[in-house]
Amino acid sequence: MRSVSIIGVGCTKFGERWDVSLRDMIAEAGVMAIEDAEIAGEQIDALFVGNMSGGRFIEQEHIGALIADCAGLSRLHIPSTRVEAACASGGLALRQAILAVASGYNDVVIAAGVEKMTDVSSGTAADALAAAADREWECFFGATFPALYAMMAKLHMRRYGTTHDQMAQVAVKNHHHACMNPIAQFCMEVSIEDVNKSPMVADPLHVLDCSPISDGAAAVVLAPTEMAKRFADAPIRIVGSGQASDTLALHDRRDLTSLDATVHAGRAAFAQAGIEPRQVDVAEVHDCFTIAEILAIEDLGFVEKGQGGRATEEGFTALGGSLPVNTSGGLKACGHPVGATGIKQAYEIALQLRGEAGGRQVDDAEIGLAHNVGGSGGTALVHIFMR
């Protein structure tokens, strides 16, 4: 297996992008990544595109071919494959691209992600997202995604003493980070009081505990490490890639206060990278809800089980803390166009390791991690990057 590096990155602004289409966004992100890598279209061997639900959001299927076409690559007949794993579609597209390069089957591969979510009503969007849960055993009985994560939060609070103020601090921190990120959807500060006073969605989760509906796209260009310096002055090596699955429905899980898919994907990625969690300098984790970030930092081994809330409250995951988490603003404040999120995470980590993250830059960052979850934890991807 060959070592794989990122040689170019690109990402659109996230938000309610009424002025652009899915085609516009993926073309914008792709051109940015290709120009960053300083390559030509003729050098690309394959594309893998994460997209959860184009059929529901924009009534368009056959997304792989569409992306190649609107990116101007159809005339080159480059194979383009759509990848779907709910909210982990982007992370899985990245993994498929890594495997294609590592195996030697391809040399230069683009991993991208895109979602256009705001062209439908909020109810239609919520129903489309609910399809990432167990439709027969959860959704048909009225369980929404906020409700599923609310059950996780309730048990975590009862078992470990986690408070809502500690969960709210996740939102406070990530909104603060987003204020330093020009592509973020919500560049605004919030307080714990703001979170606690925002409307209740599913007890104990308020509106400001939840990630938004977003539009956006991101892309990264991969190449074998031995070739990477031909294209980039400072390629970022991908030293670990883990993927794991779990039951789709919560009622079959071993423990509602852990996402076992995250635990196992993390272990695989750390073993492949040959490092321990304490060596990571910066991380992007899947904070679709504030409790999700607390679960993630526990399941990935950054803190002991049950200590995620306290660690957040004490500043462990803030800029300047022991492990800055979600410097982009995370899903919570940067935005969550579901197919693009996993690629945006890799984009942010690449910027951090290249020293190009501006006011949110983590000093001397050398090792970064990206964690992407599908649904309520049925799929998880963990990638580890090294400068």
Active site residues: 87, 336
Helix axes 145-160, 122-130, angle to 10 degrees: 60
CA atoms lying within 13 Å on the CB side of residue 111: 32
The string of DSSP letters for 108-144 reads SEEEEEEEE-TTS-HHHHHHHHHTTS-TTTTGGGT--
Helix axes 290-299, 164-178, angle to 10 degrees: 90
Q: SS3 for 205-244, per residue?
A: EEHHHECCCCEEEEEEEEEEHHHHCCCCCCCEEEEEEEEE
Instruction: Name the pairing type of β-strands 215-224 and 4-11.
Output: antiparallel
Helix (H, G, I), strand (E, B) or coil at 30: helix
Helix (H, G, I), strand (E, B) or coil at 41: helix
- Distance, in Å, from the CA atom of 374 to the CA atom of 262, rounded to the nearest integer, reads 10
- Distance, in Å, from the CA atom of 361 to the CA atom of 328, rounded to the nearest integer, reads 10
Q: Mark out the alpha helices in the chain (DSSP H runs).
A: 22-37, 54-57, 63-70, 89-102, 122-130, 145-160, 164-178, 192-197, 225-228, 260-273, 290-299, 308-313, 330-333, 341-354
Backbone angles phi, psi at 5, to 5 degrees: -130, 155
Give the number of other Cβ atoms within 10 Å of residue 322's Cβ: 14
What single DSSP character describes residue 321? S
